Structure 1
Amino acid sequence: MDGIKEGGTPVSQSIVANIQLGLPATVSKLSSKMRFIDRIAPALKESGVIRNIELINPLTIKASGIAATNRTANAFGGILYIAGAVRQDILIQEGSIYKTRQESTVDVDEIDDLDSHKKLKFIDIINVYRLFEDLMEDDEKPELVLVDVPLLLERQDVPLSDRKDLQKVYKECVDKIEGFWEKYKDKIYPFNDNGIKIASVGNKRFGAVIFALTQDKVKYVVDDIDRNIIVNMNSILPKLQEVGIKRLLTGILVKRTRTAAYEINRINDEERNRLEPQSVGKYEMIGMHIKAGNTTPPTLVEVLGSKELWTTEMLDELASQIISLIAFDQQKAMPLPLWYAKYALNPLEATNNGKNAILQYYKTQAREMLKNEELENIWKEDLDVFEE
């Protein structure tokens, strides 16, 4: 380039300078937060906010995992998608694992790109509930069913009235949820003492139990909590928010533990986080965080039912079953039935040159049919007969 070269600071020098100057401050803040976690952890455990869980050994259980996935590709001014769900049954007999039965459902279609994320969330839940319905009609049912999608929707999921296409998918999802619980609720634990346990396993709503440790909300906690911890929460809460709830939970939850369980809808802002559909949300939902191993991250478990139906012993048993099903202490570890189900979804996620292989084939075939006017010829076939 011609002209006068002015002095300046290259970005490489800025990076080096900021790392050298900022590193001590960052380490100091992290150390302060870690010391706070170490200080508060014993108090939370002694008060009953953190509970130890015993492994079932040897484990004997018949369990199912239902996992869902979706992939998209831009095409024809909108989005092509493939969404599927797999149910994998496994039988564990005194520690020995036997894979038994697998069921699946797959949906391939096109949608517009407006609110596509929400549409696909609804489609995933619909697919999971289809497999739920099939499972409930089986002669031999599992003792425990684990899923990786929410059991219910929330108020924030409700689409605006002018989003007609999204409203249609949302209504289909709500109808599927309502229909299932209306028909099968009395066959599901804890509504039936001998029913199937259905639990959603995920990682959202980190730390809701911490915000339940106040005088007006502790009544929605299922487990007994030492009221002394509540007295100290007013002074601790600002520091908790500074530390970060996810970091706090990761620090205070150790191997084979769970948090106290709580009624999700009542702990949060009831209107903003209201469970949908309301006809099912009225049964309430219990949530708790579990941690299986040293490196396994905290996991949120959600089950339908109120604190009047669930007891500490029942929740300890559920947590013990789920933790016992997490066979490996790894960062991405999950209960075995869910792991098998997710593994079975790999064909839907296969890529070719960074693009989803199935959708690329689907897109190519759709383009060819449009180009050759094959669809129009099929539609006009009967009309052509009459014209002749």
Structure 2
Amino acid sequence: MSGNKSTPISQSIVANIQLGLPATVSKLSSKMRFIDKIAPILKEGGVIRDIDLIDPLTIKASGIATVNKTTEAFGGMLYVAGAVRQDILIDRNSIYETKQDSIVDVDEIDDLDATKKLKFIDIINAYKLLEDIFNNDDRPDLVIVDTPLMLERADSPLSDRIDVINLYERCKKTIENFWHQNKDKIYPFSEYGVKIASVGNKRFGAVVFALSDENIQYVNDKINDEVVGKINIHMNKLKDVGIKRLLKGVLVKRTRTAAFQFDGINKDNRLEPEVLRSMGLTGMHIKAGTYTPPLLVEVMGGVKDWDTQKLDQLAAEIISLTTFDQKKALPISLWYAKYALKPLEAQDNGQNALLKVYKGQVRHMLQSQDLEKVWKEDFDAFEE
């Protein structure tokens, strides 16, 4: 037997926790002190803005939510993708559900680039429901969607993935056609147009990188020059602390960050469709309540289209529509739409219930060759 003494993993865990705990606490404490120090500077400089609730609230709002689910089958994947539009009317804080519309798509795809394919399908479905809104004269004041309004460079598929490219081009064309046909009916391009906003949680903290001498021209809100200088001085420390942690520390309930024109501060991340790039894409982060997560709000248009007053009004409407202070809370119209998608998410023994049934039906038709018989009917009749 070897004379080397072994060290069980349990002993290593205990030893490293005891040795590492003081260092971890010290680093976290230093970062939290820095956040406490810089938070007032960001607030006073206009990077963080307070938003007042609209009370009483009267608004016609729509939420468009999407969902997709997959299951492995037949060497590839079966998917179900759905989108729901829920209209609500809020009259002096009283909520009334009105019209609901929906789209459901069930089909098969291969598993290469499946995430991109499903993203494109979700965006196409959302834009179909948006198109339906503008085909009617009775339109809401505000539409909130959970898909991006534009595609980005990272969405572009590889050149040899023909099936993904076809779906990508179809998605771009859907976006392009919608904005060409309806831009003059949408705020702020039309003073009395419908507001369309996308909400999500990506690019958290991007506004901090806009606070530089080079990019400040793409910030929609007035920022104190002193703040820009201090941000530049402390940028390395900010990166060490973590931009995401910083903004989560300073973004409290009923606040928003300064807005920024995304395509201005990220020139390498080109927006698609290309013909719409001149419209611009503006983003800001909002936080409705103490427990609700920060959300990125994106709208079409740039610094020439959205000023502080317009952005404050939009933020106030979205925050006022977030009626519950909970971790999964969303603006109420979007929450209703997401709730309506629950049947597409139902589980049966760990599998998606709808796809489980669909998969069984597909297998039955393949085994029984019913489809082949239908295809051959015309040929048989012709031969006779």
User: Structure 1: which 5+ runs fail to align?
Assistant: none
1:355 is matched with 351
Q: Is the 8 A contact 1:85 1:124 kept in 2?
A: yes
Q: Paired residue for 2:275? A: 279
Distance 1:227 1:152 in 2: 31
Determine the structure 2 residue equivalent to 1:337: 333
Of the three residues 314, 337, 341, the one matched with 1:318 is 314
Q: Secondary structure at the match of 1:51?
A: strand
For structure 2, the 5+ residue unaligned runs are none
Counterpart in 2 of 1:104?
102
Counterparts of 1:253 and 1:16, CA distance in 2: 36
Deviations 1:243-300 (Å, cap 9, x if unpaired)?
11111111011111111111001112x12x1110011122001111111111212111
> Structure 2 CA distance, aligned partners of 1:16 and 1:130?
57
Q: 5 Å matches for 1:213-362?
A: 213-268=211-266, 270-271=267-268, 273-362=269-358
Match of 2:369 in 1: 373
How many pairs are equivalent? 384
List per-residue Cα deviations over 1:36-91 (Å, max 9, x = no partner): 11100000010111111000001110000000010000111111100010000011
Amino acid at match of 1:9: T
Structure 2 partner of 1:190: 188
Secondary structure (helix, strand or coil) at the match of 1:300 reads strand
What SS does the aligned partner of 2:329 have? coil
Q: CA deviation at 1:162?
A: 1.1
> 3-state SS of the aligned residue for 2:234?
helix
Q: In the alignment, which residue of structure 1 is the partner of 2:170? A: 172
Give secondary structure in 2 for the equivalent of 1:324. helix
Counterpart residue type for residue 172 of structure 2: V
1:17-96 pair list within 5 angstroms: 17-96=15-94
The CA distance in 2 between the partners of 1:169 and 1:149, in whole Å, is 16
Structure 1 position 7, deviation (Å): 4.3
| Whole-Å separation in 2 of the counterparts to 1:313 and 1:349 | 40
Query: What CA distance in whole angstroms lies between the structure 2 residues aligned with 1:358 and 1:130?
Result: 23
**2 CA distance for matches of 1:341 and 1:27?**
43
Identity %: 63
* 1:156 alignment counterpart: 154
Q: What amino acid does structure 2 have at the position aligned with 1:128?
A: A
Please report how far the alpha carbon of residue 386 of structure 1 lies from its aligned counterpart in structure 2 after TM superposition.
Answer: 2.5
Alignment of 1:108-147 (within 5 A): 108-147=106-145
Counterpart secondary structure, 1:348: helix
Give the AA of the match of 1:203. Answer: N
TM-score normalised by structure 2 residue count: 0.98
Does the 8 Å CA contact 1:152/1:281 hold for their aligned counterparts?
no
Distance in 1 between residues matched to 2:204 and 2:377, nearest whole Å = 58
TM-score where L is the length of structure 1: 0.97
Letter in 1 for 2:73: A
